[in-house]
Every structure is written in structure tokens, then in C-alpha cells.
Structure 1
Amino acid sequence: MTSTFSPVTPSGAARPPGRMRTVWAAAHAPVAGVPRWCRIAAYAVPFTVLPSSVWRVLVAFVDEDTAGKTGSLPSWLPGEVYVVLLSALSELVAFTAVGLIAGWGEVFPRWVPLLRGRRMPTAAAAWPAAFGAVMLTALWTAAYVADTAGVTLRGEPLPPDYPTAAGGWESAVFHVCYAPLLLWGPLLGAVTVAYVRRRRDVG
């Protein structure tokens, strides 16, 4: 009589990774020549955006003063949907830093029509990344300085309902969640410089 039970994995034996995990790891694994510090910096970029994204979503759905409000948004776009989309887009943009250390930053992925499998020009990845690093550094530094001064980026006083205007625990949590964004630009800039140098050395 044939047993219907699956073989038991011996205690302590590591299970083989699933197919999706294997594909994901292979796609985003660092290529040869990437320094350890650069790998850590690239993987850290999405995590600099994550706290503010989580805070934004939680406030949109939990805070009674903001839930359901659209502000200056079109009437057909709920505020909660906008916040989720904005947070998801921010994470996707931040994740592109991983491409500067992975294979899809040097060879066009299979899902890119006409260009799949071809070598990516260094400038095609380096120039947008460098521009983004400069703009992000300038934006979040200016935003932090303005917030510390109690004004908006336009120099206007912060509205009374702004998280840091009233102070207290909301202000503290806000700063803890948004402070990592100050690292987004510098980290991306460092990874971009390493990317250009590596591609130049490889030729």
C-alpha cells in the first residue's frame, strides 16, 4: 500500500527556496565587483522611504481629521487611494537604486520590448540616478530646514493641523518617520558614483 504522506524533511535540514524566491534573488543579486558598502547602501534606499510611507498611510486611514478628505484632489480621487498610490510609487522609485548594483542595471530585462538582453549604456542609468540624487538631497534638506523654522517650502507659516505645528508625540513620530528621507539622496548619489566607476572599469 502506497503512503500518501510527503517525505519528512530531516530536522535541521534547510528547505530549498521556492521558485519565486529563487527568481527574485537572481534578478536582484549584486553583480560581480560591487563593494559590500555599495550593496548595503543600495538595499537601504527603499528603507529610507518606508517609514514615511507607512506613517502617511496610517494617518490617511486612522486619523479622523484626515480620513475621507480629498483636499485639493479631484473629487473622483479619494484621499486614501491617493496616499496609497503615492506611497507605492515612492517605494518603486526608491527601489530603482537596486538596479545600480544588479544585473538589470547593466543589461535590459526581458520585459523591455526591442531592447531586452542588450547592454544598457552607462549614461542611461547614471544620469537619471545622479539627477534624482541631487534633487532629492536638495528637496528633503530644504523641507527639513523649513519645517524646523516652522514654515513651508514657500516660506508660509505651517498650518495649525500640520503634524509638527502643534508639537507633542505626533511631531516626534513625524520626525522619526521622515528623517530617514534625508539619507535617500546621499545614498543614491554614492551608489551612482560606484556604478559609474564599476562600469568604466569593466568597459
Structure 2
Amino acid sequence: MPIHLSLGDTERPVPRWALQLAKALPFILLPHCLWRLPFAFDFSMGTVDPSAPSMQWWAPAYVFGLSVLTEALALLCTGLVSGWGEKVPDWVPLIGSRRVAPLAAIIPATLGGLGLIALWDPMPLAWFGLLGFHEVAFSNGWWMLLARVCISPVMLWGPIVLALTYAYYRRRRAV
């Protein structure tokens, strides 16, 4: 039995912007995930931190797992614009074919979006050393520029999740 997880197969039409944003989200987060991977091999990517502890034996698995988890959560957001976010796919044991209660998606997505904003959006404060936030030091400006270019898109994650959640709410609310 083939598994179909197509986007846009919803009871009501999904706004085009939401569909495009959901499809783009894993690619928006990809530079951040790729930036993180060299750290798994104890390559510092130009960071200078004399107090940094030596690499633990489990660090490579942790770093790879974090990147995979980030991309998996980004892909999970496609449920907010697809039919499997409204009705559990038939192949899921015990709960397959059941309708998803809108709040079962809206509440976790809203909390997740707000948590991502709290986690990532203060980053510019660290860049400028404001309000007690500090950025790790870099060996030169090129490493710092590369880090900021790769990491900055993650600041969009929380607002994108909240926008997709709002579109989901508008589509699923009672008429």
C-alpha cells in the first residue's frame, strides 16, 4: 500500500503563500543545519572559545541528530497545509482515518512557533552585544559573516510556523 503525503489535498483550499512557505521551510533551515555539521568533527568553523570543553564521544551523533530533528520538524509543518494535517493517514495504527481536531495542531504549533521566536530571534542582540547577550568570538570577519549568513535564516522559523498556524486556523475554523 503506497503512502501519500501530498500537499494541498485539504477540505478547503490552502492559501498559495502558505503552501509555498511550507514547501520552502526545510530549505530555509538547511544552511543552519549544514553550518552545524562540521562541529560534529571538532572543526570549529572559525569560532574562538578558550573555555570550550573538549569534544565528547557522543557529540557527532548529537550534532547530526539535531540537524535531522530540525529538518524533520520543518517537514512536520507541512501538515499545516496538507490533508494529513486534517485527517490522520489510513496507514497509522489505531488512529488512522480519524479527523484531526484543529486544536490538536494549533496549540502545539503556536507554542512551538513562540518557543522558536524566543530561542532564535534574540540573535541580533548578541551580534551587537545588547541587553547582556554575547556572541561567540570568531578568528576573523569572514568566519563571522559566514556564520551569520548561514544561521540568520533560522530566525524566520518561528514567524513562519505562526503564519502557517494562522492559515491552518482560518481554514479549519467553523464557517
Same fold (TM over 0.5): yes
TM-score w.r.t. length of structure 1: 0.72
- Report the alpha carbon displacement of residue 165 of structure 1 after superposing the two structures with TM: 3.7
- Report the alpha carbon displacement of residue 135 of structure 1 after superposing the two structures with TM: 1.4
Matches within 5 A, 1:172-191: 172-191=145-164
- Report the alpha carbon displacement of residue 110 of structure 1 after superposing the two structures with TM: 3.2
Code of the aligned partner of 2:151? Y
Matched, 1:56 2:36: yes
Code of the aligned partner of 1:27? L
In the comparison of the two structures, how many residue pairs are matched? 168
Partners of 2:39 and 2:130 lie apart in 1 by 21
Is the CA contact (8 Å cut-off) linking 1:134 and 1:185 kept in structure 2?
Answer: yes
Q: Which runs of 5+ in 1 are unaligned?
A: 1-18
| Cα 1:122–1:171 shift into 2, 3 Å | same
- Report the alpha carbon displacement of residue 188 of structure 1 after superposing the two structures with TM: 1.0
Is the CA contact (8 Å cut-off) linking 1:150 and 1:165 kept in structure 2?
Answer: no
Partners of 1:127 and 1:167 lie apart in 2 by 43
Code of the aligned partner of 2:157? W
Partners of 1:95 and 1:71 lie apart in 2 by 33
Match of 1:193 in 2: 166
TM-score w.r.t. length of structure 2: 0.82
Match of 1:11 in 2: none
Partners of 1:156 and 1:146 lie apart in 2 by 4
| Cα 1:148–1:165 shift into 2, 3 Å | farther
Partners of 2:70 and 2:156 lie apart in 1 by 14
Larger RCO: Structure 1 or Structure 2 (Cα < 8 Å, ≥ 6 residues apart)?
2
RMSD: 2.8
- Report the alpha carbon displacement of residue 52 of structure 1 after superposing the two structures with TM: 0.8
